[in-house]
Amino acid sequence: MNITKMDEHEPTRPKAISKKPRYSRFTQQELPAWKPILTPGWVIASFVTVAIMFIPTGLLCLSASERVVEIVDRYDDDCLPDSFRTNPDSFIQNNKSNKTCIRTLKVPRKMTAPIFIYYELDNFYQNHRRYVKSRSDKQLRDPGAAEETKDCMPEDIVGGDNDAPIVPCGLVAWSLFNDTYTFSKANKVVDIDKKDIAWKSDTRVKFGSNVYPKNFQKGELIGGGVLDESKPLSEQEDLIVWMRTAALPNFRKLYGKINMDLEANETITVVIQNNYNTYDFGGEKKLILSTASWIGGKNDFFGIAFLTIGGICLFMAINFIFLYVFKPRPLGDPTYLSWNRNPNAQ
């Protein structure tokens, strides 16, 4: 009797909150679905289809790359005088040293205009975090943001009685590539077209048409090239190309274009001003002349990749055909599959 009374007066426990989700065909993955059965015919047909698509594509890519004519000339070692071999930095830093270097290039095959001129730097890490962040994009496009130099140290201001901001500031602009190339053929100068070598989005948006260089390369330590203070940044395409930093330590950047054909076996004379210091960090400098095809410059990677994948698929298809012909296996009855035995689950 007492037990009954205690049960009647016992406080009710709160109802446990269930974490079970509300039922729906979507959450329980019961929506209609295509559930293919991978029969030997389907597998073989799939591999053959991929092979048919990839192998011709790879051959086309390799053919396009092969049609590109490219001349590569490394000149940093050959353009260093013997007297400076033991101390190459002094050669670059000495303003009185003769940095003119003459190179001769032979055209292996006919090069059809436009012929693109690139400079290539190896072992130069433009992707270093401190280097990439050392710039002011707001300053580059807005003439009223010349004082926005907080991210540009140590190349942010020019010291003196009245500190003045550097435009463009930062290490990226300060290290501007400044080797120059002059081409001639049969004692006639070959013109270099340096217009439209930068991206349109950069010249129109990222670099202001009313922003002009100020105090650039006027500090104690001189980096790379200088800029024309009478031209806005949007027209200084060498700088714009350089400031689109590369993702890898070995990279090429467009220097200009030659808008005339070069015949096979012609000799091109190049006068190089070897100004840029790559000796300090063990870098390399190369001059490149190249034509282009529908796939771009000379690059065998895409063709080899397509051929490799297509060849593997063709090999697998042939293997499956042999297995299917010489050692066939009986297929199971698809009526025993769960979705066939329970039509409501489809």
Residue 39, pLDDT score: 83
Residues 65-119 have pLDDT tens digits of: 999 999 999 999 999 998 888 888 888 888 888 899 999 999 999 999 999 999 9
> How far is the C-alpha of 162 from the C-alpha of 313, rounded, in Å?
70
- Taken in order 141, 147, 153, 157, the sign of the CA dihedral is positive
Range from 218-222, 234-238, 323-327 carrying the lowest mean pLDDT: 218-222
Cis peptide leading into residue 334 (ω within 30°): no
- The pair of structure tokens assigned to 143 is 């003439």
> 121 - beta bridge partners?
251, 285
Q: Which 3-state string (H, E, C) describes 130-190?
A: HHHHCCCHHHHHCHHHCCCCCCCCCCCEECCCCCEECECCCHHHHCCCCCEEEEEECCEEE
> How far is the C-alpha of 211 from the C-alpha of 139, rounded, in Å?
8
Cα Rg, the chain, nearest whole Å: 33
Residue 320, pLDDT score: 92
Cα–Cα nearest to 314, from 62, 72, 104, 44 = 44
> How far is the C-alpha of 67 from the C-alpha of 299, rounded, in Å?
11
Cα–Cα nearest to 76, from 161, 199, 177 = 177
The total number of residues shown for the chain amounts to 346
Residue 237, pLDDT score: 93
Task: Round to the nearest angstrom and report the end-to-end CA distance of the chain.
Answer: 58
Cis peptide leading into residue 168 (ω within 30°): yes
- The pair of structure tokens assigned to 321 is 């055909």
Spell out where 12-170 has E strands. 70-74, 100-106, 115-122, 157-158, 164-165
Cα–Cα nearest to 246, from 164, 118, 128, 329 = 128
Residue 319, pLDDT score: 94
Mean pLDDT of 7-29: 72
Q: How confident is the model at residue 7 (pLDDT cuts 50, 70, 90)?
A: low
| Average pLDDT along the chain | 88
> How far is the C-alpha of 318 from the C-alpha of 322, rounded, in Å?
6
Contact residues for 272 (Cβ-Cβ < 8 A; gap 6+): 75, 79, 100, 101, 102, 103, 179, 180, 181, 182, 287
Write down the pTM of the prediction: 0.80
Range from 37-46, 72-81, 132-141 carrying the lowest mean pLDDT: 37-46
3-class DSSP state of 290: strand
| Residue-wise burial string across 256-267, b where 16 or more C-beta atoms lie within 10 A, e elsewhere | bbbeeebeeeee
Q: How confident is the model at residue 34 (pLDDT cuts 50, 70, 90)?
A: confident
Residue 264, pLDDT score: 93
